[in-house]
Structure 1
Amino acid sequence: MRYLAPSLAVLALSLAAAAPTQAEEGMWTFDNFPIARANATLGTHIDQAWLDRVRLSSAKFGGCSAGIVSAEGLVMTNNHCVSSCVANLSTQAINYAETGFTPARREDELKCPGGTAEILTDITDVTERMHKAGEGLSGQAFTRARDAEAGRIEQEACDGDTGKRCQVVSLYRGGQFKLYTYKKYTDVRLAFAPEERAATFGGDLDNFSFPRFAIDAAFIRLYENGQPAVTPTHFTWNAATPVEGTPVFVSGSPGSTQRLLTQDQLMTIRDVVLPMDQLLASELRGRMIRFSEESEENAFIAMDPISSVENSYKRGLGRMRALIDPAFMAGRAEAEADFRARAAAGSTAGDPWADLAAVQPIQRQLYPAYSLLEARAGGGSSLYGYAETLVRAAAERAKPSDQRLPEFADSRLASVESRLMAERPVYPSLDQLRLEWWLSKTREWLTVDDPRVRVLLGQESPEGLSARLVAGTSLADPAVRRALWDGGLAAVRASNDPLIQYALKVDDQARAVRADWEARVEAPTARASEQLAAARFAAYGDAVYPDATGTLRLTYGRIEGTDVPGQRFGAFTTFNGLWDRATGAAPFDVAPKLLAAKDRIDGDTVLNMAVSSDTIGGSSGSPVVNEAGEILGANFDSTVLSQRNAYGYDVNVNRSVIVTTGAVTTALRDVYGMQRLVTELGAD
């Protein structure tokens, strides 16, 4: 096992700016992947053509990643990435989470409501144009000018082509801007999902840990014009037993990292953002558990939402532990000091560190109101989300595109409309729970005497108001939403729907909170971060990789376990290990169909494996491929120590957890009778 002295290990990971970065570190963009360094580290021989094939074989599915595995649009991702689709297609009578979704024919594959998948086809540098748009501006004028320019670039690039999506992406926190162009699929159908218990064996106790024993894999299929998409560029299926030490690459869309933040910015996250987010998530989890225990119907409704909240809470816990780890933070501080010294030697104009430090007291003050009244308004209620979207879209669409809130620019309206009109099931009881929680927590955090809370609640209680709004609304009906969308501002204002009227009532103050945040936090942070990025490029050149932004990245490492004290484990788990770990009681009860197939399964088949790649949330479903471009599995988790990966990478502790193609083949063939998919994969 490779080893770095603790101070050096943390120093190497701290700002993603050490030159050179260490071994497997880095969530690299495909247009700046260090081919030579990766080949030297791993002993591989990949080239640009290999990168292009991997990029075009990788897909983004919702907030997850995925890999194309056949010429007929078949795509592998994680089961937890299709859990919303499974829930939307299920009823209490036919619950695919319990039975698995195993269509006998391709014609029986079902469309995921609102599901979209995308393949990155092109990357274009638009940095100069974006930087010029903000020249000489400050405050909200700066952010709005940048947003408007991004909208224009996207509109010009896609030019109304509904089969594409164009997105201007900020990299290096404003140091670069790239236009990402995607091939977009809006007809995505579920092709296979195992029993939920097979994918989540061990439950929350095993989440973010290893050894793991989970078949967290599923298949979707891309369709065009009612037919399976033609996808000649795809990964080749390799279900052979994996070998420890094998070099692998992980291609996916990691959500967000904060490795380029200054120490002052991280202190705000540690002291304000994470504590608040964790307290809110903890109470929501408790309310949902209580709700789920009230009836079988409630248990069905809350199953997927509880899993999501638990996942977020546990991820936040791991990140908090990193930020209060003295050695970890000392290493970051040491690296920042080195960076500042290099920047000073290069005579960087201004002092972006001081500018960012000056923003922190303001951000700390504004975060609770911004979070509650704008960022998480409605508490995740689907019905409130519909109302807010309809109200804002109506107001924004009456303006020229470059004067709108960025999410409603012409280049993005089609996606807004698609999400709004998707025919998903709505559960009023869960919506009321979410609204009640949000209203009560907003009153608690902002206080009863805050005038914004008085507007929010009037003379009603959180319980009474949420019940009234949910009982009276008709927004669960897609036809009602369609009429309001098509009718525009006049129809929205004339609506007698109580939730629409409520969203109209509270929108002004939410907009004011957002405007204050953009002017006093977002704009000065963006300005200083742009300066910081220039200093970083000057100090370290192209050895720098950007923070994760939900865009496609490539990371690399090896199949291996770890010998960190308290986290010692080998690289593999097997089905025999699953049988041994099972107790028969939740959460260590084996899924019924999987247990029934025990005698048909080779117990030595590798189920899950650990890889030293650099991943984070959003990397779920990422294809894990070898030098030959063969897919060996899909990333579905990481270890608890890896949650510090948001702020830095350490090869000694960071491990991605992978479900192997061998395990998936076994499940398809020996458990769920999906021989037609086995044949399509070439795994007969």
Structure 2
Amino acid sequence: MLRQTLGGALAAAIALSAAPALADEGMWTFDNFPAAKVAQAYGVKTDQKWLDRVQAASVRLTSGCSASLVSKQGLVFTNHHCVVDCVQSLSDDKTDYVKDGFLTTARTEEKKCAGMQAEVLVSITDLTADIGKATAGKTGIDFVKARDAAKGAAETAACGKDEAFRCQLVTLYRGGQYKLYKYRKYSDVRLVFAPEIATAFFGGDPDNFNFPRFNLDTAFVRLYENGKPIASPQHLIWQSRAPKDGEVTFVSGNPGGTDRMLTVSQLQTQRDLALPIGQLQRSELRGRLIAFGERDAESKRIATDPLFGVENSFKVFYGRQFALNDPAFMEAKRAAEAELRAKVAADPRLAADIGDPWGEIAKVQGPYADRFLRLRQLESGAGSLSELFLFARELVRAGQERAKPSAERLPEYGDAGLALMAKQILDEQPVDAALEQLYLGFWLSKTREYLTVDDAAVKQLLGKESPEAMAARLVAGTKLADPAERKRLWDGGLPAILASNDPMIQLALRIDPAAREARTAWETEVSGPTDRAAERIARAKFAAYGDAVYPDATFTLRLSYGKVAGWTHRGVTIPPFTTFAGLYDRATGAEPFQLAPRWVAAKDRLNPATVYNFVTTNDIIGGNSGSPVLNAKAEILGAAFDGNIHSLGGNYGYDGAINRTVVVATSAATQALEKVYGQTALVKELTAK
């Protein structure tokens, strides 16, 4: 179904993906929003005052999601799946907030989310020329080091030691622009409300990335500072009415990443190498988590959240594979690339400046294939999902890197990022030993399988032990589950790390040279040359199309526009709305279509015609979860929580005919809070003017 769709309308749209955006396409930066185009298409004015208001109320969560301020007292609206890690960490074998929901009646009951930080963008500064000067004439690893050093220095200069802000130098257009994003950060984020997972994720994996949907994928957190809720006068106005068919909508959020500007050779490598290997490992990990959850009730509770994450990722990349396996899709990408190359060739001066970056990137695909598995198993994917190994890796590297000047460190250990890293390491959070053992055993076994038993790094990693025995020994022997021990090692720096006999720390130290070697080889042979060539492709696009081209997503604040609209596929028209009545019709009494007890009891109190979920034409991607969906007055109508099945190819392009954003409506959230959960104080706060 998905493959056939992608071969039709989406391929036609992608044929113009290098050119100015079509229809409702685009995840636009706030300093280059096409206001005139929106006014022409929808008759809506989005002036600077409008943009500033929306920006000031938009929130980025370090859980990888988006959100929005919706009251004067720091109340933030997002998705349930954006805070489920927090809900899980607050639960235990006696109180399961994931299963039963998290409700509060007073501020004193709001509980801190470990490791979570909220960020509000306050300014964007163009530093493209500065980075260009710092990297002039450099290639390969020298280019990477010079760029990263310049970025780190810029971040430090912009934020200094002011702990209220976080600065991030962002690469846009794959090197065509570099901009400094400055955020007001809030490190004390507390959970206010989360429904039961049976309600938030009603329909489970079968309904995921589909529509009709019936999900209350909502949650509220509150931002605190100095022990008190922050004042947030620049919040969005909560609109309790239902959206209207055809109504203009805007989505303000932080799309995590897209690959719409990749060359054809890069897409072929994704299709033939990176995606299949990732899917094989996700598939096996999914099976292991299912088996783990079948042990007993407590194991099922522990595995619920990670299984959801793995299944969601599997479905996302499944859709991407189908897109790249579609011949018409790839032919459209070739046509778009050929069009841009022809424009370059037609201008001798431009051609002399640009050269042949497409050919250079194609040559890099050989080293990419040679280096990919080693990088994945020893560096980028090391430890699988193990929190304990992540703690060890970051403690070891922080100890090593903090001993150097900031400009000489690995970029993630620069001064600008250390505060957040320390918070995520040191905040108290539960660690399940059995699940950790599963993750470590899986990673060790896959590393041995992919790199082979005879590989020097595998021998260094495992010695004479089996993956399963080593995983059991590491988890049983480590003290890193104790935040006090993590703090001791963080504060003690490299001397404390080197003196530690903790087996997880020893593992991280033992594998670190091989991991760094894999990373250096990758930056020298793959990412360095690729990034240098991609800069010139970006210059070619600017020369051909000006600023009418939007950048790939980078988990930074973007604004998309569209409207409430269903779609027609293969002769079947899908209406844009679902209702409470549809929820009760869809319920079967068996998972994942089983209603939570509160919803069974509340049926007669709810208006069955209330709009529950709806779809829009807005262009979004992962990371937009929790983004506010706004009307022309910048009032909030809902929160984006998913895309339809046709949108899974949206990583590579947008098709306005069938790509849809799936939204949970404020009309449903308001009524549910009041009539299902009895959260009258929360409703009063939301609806206060």
Same fold by TM-score greater than 0.5: yes
Match of 1:268, SS? helix
Superposed CA deviations along residues 640-671 of structure 1, whole A, max 9, x for unmatched, are: 11010000001012100000000100111001
Q: Counterparts of 1:202-601 in structure 2 under 5 Å?
A: 202-347=203-348, 348=351, 349=353, 350-565=355-570, 568-601=573-606
Distance in 2 separating the partners of 1:627 and 1:637: 22
Aligned AA (1:50): W
Distance in 1 separating the partners of 2:286 and 2:202: 20
Structure 2 equivalent of residue 71 of structure 1? 72
Superposed CA deviations along residues 7-48 of structure 1, whole A, max 9, x for unmatched, are: 7863443563323x2110000000000000011112212211
Q: For structure 1, list consecutive stretches of 5 or more residues without a partner in the other structure.
A: none
Aligned AA (1:617): G
- Do the aligned residues in 2 keep the contact of 1:239 with 1:683 (CA within 8 Å)? no
Distance in 2 separating the partners of 1:252 and 1:5: 26
Aligned AA (2:418): L
- Do the aligned residues in 2 keep the contact of 1:8 with 1:331 (CA within 8 Å)? no
Superposed CA deviations along residues 416-459 of structure 1, whole A, max 9, x for unmatched, are: 11111011101111011000000111111111222211111111
Residue 61, structure 1, aligned to residue 61, structure 2: yes
Structure 1 equivalent of residue 43 of structure 2? 43
Aligned AA (1:674): Q
* Alignment size in residue pairs: 680
Aligned AA (2:54): V
Superposed CA deviations along residues 229-269 of structure 1, whole A, max 9, x for unmatched, are: 11111111111121100000000000010000111110000
Distance in 2 separating the partners of 1:542 and 1:504: 47
- Do the aligned residues in 2 keep the contact of 1:561 with 1:568 (CA within 8 Å)? yes
Q: For structure 2, list consecutive stretches of 5 or more residues without a partner in the other structure.
A: none
Q: TM-score, normalized by length of structure 1?
A: 0.98
Residue 168, structure 1, aligned to residue 173, structure 2: no
Query: Could you say if the C-alpha distance between residues 648 and 58 of structure 1 is closer, same or farther in structure 2, counting changes exceeding 3 Å?
Result: same
Distance in 1 separating the partners of 2:469 and 2:304: 25
- Do the aligned residues in 2 keep the contact of 1:113 with 1:422 (CA within 8 Å)? yes
Q: TM-score, normalized by length of structure 2?
A: 0.97
Residue 82, structure 1, aligned to residue 72, structure 2: no
Distance in 2 separating the partners of 1:97 and 1:568: 35
Match of 2:85, SS? helix
Distance in 1 separating the partners of 2:347 and 2:172: 22
Superposed CA deviations along residues 332-358 of structure 1, whole A, max 9, x for unmatched, are: 211111111111112323101001101
- Do the aligned residues in 2 keep the contact of 1:665 with 1:683 (CA within 8 Å)? no
Structure 1 equivalent of residue 662 of structure 2? 657
Aligned AA (2:225): E
Distance in 1 separating the partners of 2:665 and 2:361: 44
Distance in 2 separating the partners of 1:127 and 1:16: 24
Match of 1:102, SS? coil
Match of 2:29, SS? coil
Distance in 2 separating the partners of 1:45 and 1:158: 34
Q: Percent identity of the aligned residues?
A: 53
Match of 2:102, SS? coil
Superposed CA deviations along residues 119-165 of structure 1, whole A, max 9, x for unmatched, are: 00000000011111111212212101111111110001101111100
- Do the aligned residues in 2 keep the contact of 1:281 with 1:309 (CA within 8 Å)? yes
Aligned AA (1:56): A
Distance in 1 separating the partners of 2:205 and 2:77: 23
Query: Could you say if the C-alpha distance between residues 5 and 548 of structure 1 is closer, same or farther in structure 2, counting changes exceeding 3 Å?
Result: closer
Structure 1 equivalent of residue 29 of structure 2? 29
Aligned AA (1:33): F
- Do the aligned residues in 1 keep the contact of 2:168 with 2:182 (CA within 8 Å)? yes
Aligned AA (1:153): A
Distance in 2 separating the partners of 1:235 and 1:486: 40
Match of 2:301, SS? helix
State which of 631, 639, 650 in structure 1 corresponds to 2:644.
639
State which of 626, 630, 634 in structure 2 corresponds to 1:621.
626
Structure 1 equivalent of residue 677 of structure 2? 672
Distance in 2 separating the partners of 1:119 and 1:289: 38
Distance in 2 separating the partners of 1:550 and 1:665: 29
Match of 2:567, SS? coil
- Do the aligned residues in 1 keep the contact of 2:210 with 2:645 (CA within 8 Å)? yes
Structure 1 equivalent of residue 611 of structure 2? 606
Question: Which stretch has the larger CA shift, 339-348 or 6-15?
Answer: 6-15
Distance in 2 separating the partners of 1:422 and 1:302: 22
Match of 2:153, SS? helix
Superposed CA deviations along residues 465-504 of structure 1, whole A, max 9, x for unmatched, are: 1111111000001111111111111111111111111111
Distance in 2 separating the partners of 1:604 and 1:12: 36
Superposed CA deviations along residues 292-341 of structure 1, whole A, max 9, x for unmatched, are: 11122211111100000000000000111111112222222111111111
Aligned AA (1:245): G
Alpha-carbon RMSD: 1.4
Superposed CA deviations along residues 572-613 of structure 1, whole A, max 9, x for unmatched, are: 000100100110011110111122111111010000001011
Aligned AA (1:370): L
Query: Could you say if the C-alpha distance between residues 126 and 30 of structure 1 is closer, same or farther in structure 2, counting changes exceeding 3 Å?
Result: same
- Do the aligned residues in 1 keep the contact of 2:10 with 2:329 (CA within 8 Å)? no
Distance in 2 separating the partners of 1:591 and 1:346: 64
Match of 1:568, SS? strand
Match of 2:573, SS? coil
Residue 200, structure 1, aligned to residue 205, structure 2: no
Shift of 1:634: 0.2
Shift of 1:107: 1.8
Distance in 2 separating the partners of 1:507 and 1:9: 43
Match of 1:26, SS? coil
Distance in 1 separating the partners of 2:626 and 2:572: 24
Distance in 2 separating the partners of 1:116 and 1:567: 43
